[in-house]
Amino acid sequence: MNKGKELKGIKRAIFDWSVNLGLRFDFTNGPLYFAQLAIARKLVFVKWQEALGGHVKFIGSGGAALQPRLARLFWAAGIPVQEGYGLTETSPLIAFNYSKHPGIKFGTVGPVIENVEVKIADDGEILVRGFNVMKGYYKNDELTAEVIKDGWFHTGDIGEFVNGKYLKITDRKKEIFKLSSGKYIAPQVLENKLKESAYIEQAMIVGENKKYAAAIIVPDQEGLTRWGKEHHIQPLTLESLIENPKVKQLIQDEIKAVNKKLGKTEEIKKFKLIKDSWTPESGDLSPTLKLKRKHLAAKYESFISDMFPASEND
């Protein structure tokens, strides 16, 4: 019995070591790192490869943002997940993380593809021109004129170039909102930073016309349960964990770490943990895994009101 527990503990330690190693994956890591990674692949990650059939060359990712930590982990496992970006109107590719360094940069959608031009408008919107852009919407000249101006297709997405080469999507233009102070908040930027935490699965930033930004957070159940076991917290049900003061402090600390990377007006001041999981099937996400913000705001109206008491937001 004890030997069985001891063996299980050793296996868990090896798994955790491999995952933590994978989360630090980068093409510029030194020889020692890749020597350790070879061991992790042989002991753990080969099983991931086998689960996918053992012959995966790469996996394409698009539609919704890919968390950099997950991209690093899968690359470390020898399963290249290559994120791209585009719209139906652009046939559908604009940028893509190619198969190897320096054609890939985590946290971006990669370099712009050949024979396509991209520029960033003064308001941050991504504009595209090239052979891939549609001629127009069928029998709708008015709508066509709204999105194609002076030969440039207006994507409706906000972005920037990293190192002058890699395109990074930061938000949807229509989703940016203004605080009561007049400062603008790009919610996807903050949400993606929060989701880099091993304890946060999903998040939605709220605060339009309020004094500050706040977050509704769906915790990562596996990560939170593992943390709860390590800190001898009982019971380990998600319902109990999200109400536990130690867990709330853990998430607060994760938010503080994110806030250190933000401007003062962007800081997330309050949060609410919920047990729900947002999926297309639950009606909370679109088929391409984007947040249905109006729906979620209505669903959690009482929680949002609690985070913005009238006395603090008059």
Confidence of residue 232 (pLDDT cuts 50, 70, 90): very high
Confidence of residue 15 (pLDDT cuts 50, 70, 90): very high
Sheet containing strand 81-85, edge to edge, reads 59-61, 81-85, 95-96
Per-residue model confidence (pLDDT) at position 293: 96
Phi, psi torsion values for 306, nearest 5 degrees: -65, -30
Q: Where in the chain is the domain with CATH 3.30.300.30?
A: 176-308
Confidence of residue 246 (pLDDT cuts 50, 70, 90): very high
Per-residue model confidence (pLDDT) at position 310: 80
Contacts of residues 199-208 at CB distance under 8 Å and 24 or more positions apart, as own/partner, are 199/223, 199/224, 199/227, 199/250, 199/251, 199/254, 200/251, 200/254, 201/277, 202/277, 202/278, 204/291, 204/293, 204/296, 205/268, 206/297, 206/304, 206/307, 207/177, 207/179, 207/308, 208/177, 208/178, 208/179
Q: Where in the chain is the domain with CATH 2.30.38.10?
A: 86-171
Helix axes 245-259, 187-194, angle to 10 degrees: 120
Phi, psi torsion values for 221, nearest 5 degrees: -60, -40
CATH architecture of 86-171: Roll (2.30)
Per-residue model confidence (pLDDT) at position 1: 52
Distance between CA atoms of residues 59 and 78, nearest Å? 11
Residue with tokens 């639950």: 282
Per-residue model confidence (pLDDT) at position 102: 86
- Beta strand pairing status for 125-130 and 184-185? unpaired
- State the number of CA atoms in the 13 A half-sphere of 243 facing the CB: 7
Per-residue model confidence (pLDDT) at position 7: 77
Distance between CA atoms of residues 256 and 215, nearest Å? 13
Q: Give the fold, CATH level 3, of 176-308.
A: GMP Synthetase; Chain A, domain 3 (3.30.300)
Per-residue model confidence (pLDDT) at position 204: 98
pLDDT digits (tens, 9 = 90+) for 197-222: 999 999 999 999 999 999 999 999 99
Read off the pLDDT of each residue in 62-76 and give the average, rounded to a whole number: 91
Beta strands in the chain (DSSP E): 59-61, 81-85, 95-96, 116-120, 125-130, 148-149, 152-162, 166-172, 177-178, 184-185, 200-206, 213-219, 268-273
Read off the pLDDT of each residue in 105-118 and give the average, rounded to a whole number: 96
Q: Mean pLDDT, the chain, as a whole number? A: 94
Q: How far is CA 5 from CA 15, 16, 61, 73, 236, in A?
A: 15, 16, 38, 27, 20
Q: Specify the 3-state DSSP secondary structure of 22.
A: helix
Per-residue model confidence (pLDDT) at position 313: 62
Per-residue model confidence (pLDDT) at position 100: 79
Q: Which of 20, 55, 59 is nearest to 40 (CA)?
A: 20
Dihedral in degrees, nearest 10, Cα atoms 35, 38, 44, 47: 170
Tokens for 96, please give them.
């893509």
